[in-house]
């Protein structure tokens, strides 16, 4: 990867041997190892570490989970907040596992729509709740720094499963709870 970065610097008109760029290939390599570390993790392994029996059948919601990811089309960042809710079906998962689940998928090359669906599906498949709702609000540097250059734009996606699809009251409760 270091050689690729060195060549990239040359291709954009830079001198990879100048003082400020000497260690750039190494730094970029380490950066991408971290930013793409989600490929080395399995979401079900994270969730299964903290599943507990419960009699609770009311909505569990963790909102405003910060995330950063890389757009698979431009390798530019997109970032924002994820809101995750589920209705238990005899099992709950440790609350910290939901942000960890977000990180597994966010630390892969992504599109927001896919990220939203992957989080929702992994929770639905592993925990087997009555329903799952995931909403993501994000800003995309590929839209803000280049292309259309709309600095204040946000993209909102959602993925609903189970009772969140079939019961309007439950769906409305979720959306009212995640409003600022």
- Please give the pLDDT value at position 80: 98
164, 80, 35, 12 alpha-carbon torsion, rounded to 10°:
130
Q: Are residues 68 and 136 in the same domain?
A: yes
Q: Of residues 83, 110, 112, 118, which has the active-site annotation?
A: 112
Residues of the chain with confidence (pLDDT) below 50: none
pLDDT tens across 49-69, in order? 999 999 999 999 999 999 999
Q: What is the pTM of this model?
A: 0.94
Q: Are residues 9 and 69 in the same domain?
A: no
Take residue 88 and report the two structure tokens written for it. 């238990």
Q: Which of 26, 29, 73, 113 is catalytic?
A: 73
Tally of domains in the chain: 2
Does the active-site annotation cover 83?
no
The predicted-structure confidence for 139-167, as pLDDT tens digits, reads as follows 999 999 988 888 889 999 999 999 999 99
**DSSP code at position 130:** S
Verify that 62 and 111 share a domain, yes or no.
yes
Q: Which of 16, 34, 13, 26 is nearest to 77 (CA)?
A: 34
Active site includes 11? no
Can 149 be counted among the known catalytic residues? Answer: no
| Residue of 26, 29, 33, 72 with catalytic role | 72
Active-site choice (103, 110, 116, 140)? 140
Same-domain check for residues 18 and 84: no
Domain range enclosing 105: 41-178
Q: Can you give the pLDDT at residue 151?
A: 86
Shared domain for 75 and 154, answered yes or no, is yes
User: Which entry of 14, 74, 117, 121 is annotated as an active-site residue?
Assistant: 74
């Amino acid at each position: 990867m270091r050689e690729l970065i060195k060549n990239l610097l040359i291709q954009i008109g830079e001198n990879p041997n100048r003082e400020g760029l000497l260690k750039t290939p190494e730094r970029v390599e380490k950066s991408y190892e971290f930013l793409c570390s989600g490929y080395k993790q399995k979401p079900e392994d994270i969730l299964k570490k903290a599943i507990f029996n419960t009699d609770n059948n009311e909505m569990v919601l963790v909102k405003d989970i910060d995330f950063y990811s890389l757009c698979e089309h431009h390798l530019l960042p997109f970032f924002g907040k994820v809101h995750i809710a589920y209705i238990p079906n005899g099992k709950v998962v440790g609350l910290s596992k939901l942000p960890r689940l977000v990180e597994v998928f966010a630390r892969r090359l992504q599109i927001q729509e896919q990220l939203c669906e992957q989080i929702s599906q992994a929770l639905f498949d592993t925990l087997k709740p009555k329903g799952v709702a995931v909403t993501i609000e994000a800003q995309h540097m590929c839209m803000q720094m280049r292309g259309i250059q709309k600095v204040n734009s946000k993209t909102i996606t959602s993925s609903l499963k189970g009772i969140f699809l079939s019961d309007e009251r439950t769906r409305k409760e979720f959306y009212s709870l995640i409003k600022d």
